[in-house]
């Protein structure tokens, strides 16, 4: 059992115990976690390579820039570089870089 499966099982327990919760939201989480629990490393990285999460990552980057009160020129430079990296670096390469630098 991996962490994804454990979390999905915890949500299942929550659904059984709590009747007055947003069931659709919890069921959506379970569905995603069940998929991730059975996905290979290659499949997980391919999800990211698909660009499905690019706008989410850009949102996090913009929030970080706001939190650090970076100037607009720096913000735009970071976003442009991120867009370039999305087009030229695979998720596997990016994860490896993160883990080793």
Q: Which two tokens stand for residue 57?
A: 């990552």
Q: How many separate domains does the chain show?
A: 2
Give the position of tokens 């976690």: 33
pLDDT grade for 52, boundaries at 50, 70 and 90: very high
C-alpha 29 chain-centroid distance: 13
CA atoms of 65 and 33, how far apart (whole Å): 30
CA atoms of 48 and 57, how far apart (whole Å): 10
C-alpha 50 chain-centroid distance: 12
The residue segments making up the domain with residue 67 are 48-100
In terms of domains, do 90 and 53 share one?
yes
Q: Half-sphere exposure of residue 36, counting CA atoms within 13 Å on the CB side?
A: 17
Q: Does residue 1 have a pLDDT over 80? A: no
pLDDT grade for 10, boundaries at 50, 70 and 90: very high
Instruction: Indicate whether 60 belongs to any domain.
Output: yes
In terms of domains, do 80 and 59 share one?
yes
Helix (H, G, I), strand (E, B) or coil at 71: coil
pLDDT at 93: 98
In terms of domains, do 32 and 72 share one?
no
């Amino acid at each position: 059992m991996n962490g994804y499966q454990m979390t999905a099982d915890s949500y299942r327990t929550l659904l059984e115990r709590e009747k007055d919760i947003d069931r659709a939201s919890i069921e959506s989480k379970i569905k995603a976690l069940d998929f991730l629990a059975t996905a290979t490393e290659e499949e997980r990285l391919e999800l990211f390579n698909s660009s499905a999460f690019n706008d989410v990552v850009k949102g996090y980057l913009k929030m970080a820039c706001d939190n650090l009160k970076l100037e607009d020129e720096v913000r735009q430079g970071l976003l442009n570089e991120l867009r370039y990296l999305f087009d030229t670096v695979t998720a596997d390469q990016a994860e490896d870089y993160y883990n080793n630098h």
